[in-house]
Amino acid sequence: MSLQDRIINHFTDSIQTQQDAMTSLSELIEFASQRLVAALLNDKKILTCGNGCATANAQLLAAAMLNQFERERPSLPAIALATDSVTLTAIADNYHFDEIFAKQIRALGQSGDLLVLYSTSKHSANIAKAVSTAHDQSISVIALTGSNDSTIASLLNETDIEIRAPSISVARIQEVHTLITHCLCDLIDHQLFGG
């Protein structure tokens, strides 16, 4: 296979996965945006987390809420839990890596907040611990996962939402998560500020 063929395959796979996601996930994305808007209207905040490259999407959501997505508007309360390397390494060193999000959720989370987590792997103990800690704090979870992840789904309860990208490829899952994040940002802005 030539290098050009490999490039074409990446584009083709990405387009197909995004079309599959559009068909199967639109309602869930709409519902998740409504939950996020309801929390924000009730003076609650959005907490985000993820590991590795999934952290980029968690930070993207928080940054778009705090700053802006595509238009000028007031800042919205969101905290990305994976941005402070001192805090992350201190928790991992003094306790355990599984606690890096859970400890922050216990300190910063309040009942009615929402945790938006991004997971592209089959099992991340720190993400699982984040879910259980969120539930202990009466914080609902919006979990963006992939078809290779059944562990997170088993931890969710009836107040949570799972938006599962229709792929087992980490690259395709991340691409779909980015697009879903852009959709959520746009839908939040539209519902809160019109236009």
Cβ distance 174 to 193 under 8 Å?
no
State residue 184's pLDDT score.
98
Least confident of 63-67, 100-104, 151-155: 151-155
Per residue in 24-55, pLDDT (tens digit) is: 999 999 999 999 999 999 999 999 999 999 99
State residue 23's pLDDT score.
97
Burial 98-110 (b: 16+ CB within 10 A, else e): bbbbbbbbeeebe
State residue 179's pLDDT score.
98
Those residues with Cβ within 8 angstroms of residue 35's Cβ, 6 or more apart along the chain or in another chain: 114, 140, 142, 161
pLDDT at 93 over 90: yes
Label the pairing between strands 78-80 and 46-50: parallel
Write the single-letter amino acid at 185: C
The pLDDT confidence band at residue 195, using thresholds 50, 70 and 90, is confident
Per residue in 181-194, pLDDT (tens digit) is: 999 999 999 999 99
Classify domain 3-193 at the CATH class level. Answer: alpha beta
Cβ distance 117 to 141 under 8 Å?
yes
pLDDT at 149 over 80: no
Mean pLDDT of 83-109: 95
Per residue in 112-142, pLDDT (tens digit) is: 999 999 998 777 899 999 999 999 999 999 9
State residue 1's pLDDT score.
87
Task: Give me the residue spans of the domains in the chain.
Answer: 3-193
Tokens 């985000």, located at residue: 48
Mean pLDDT of 97-125: 94
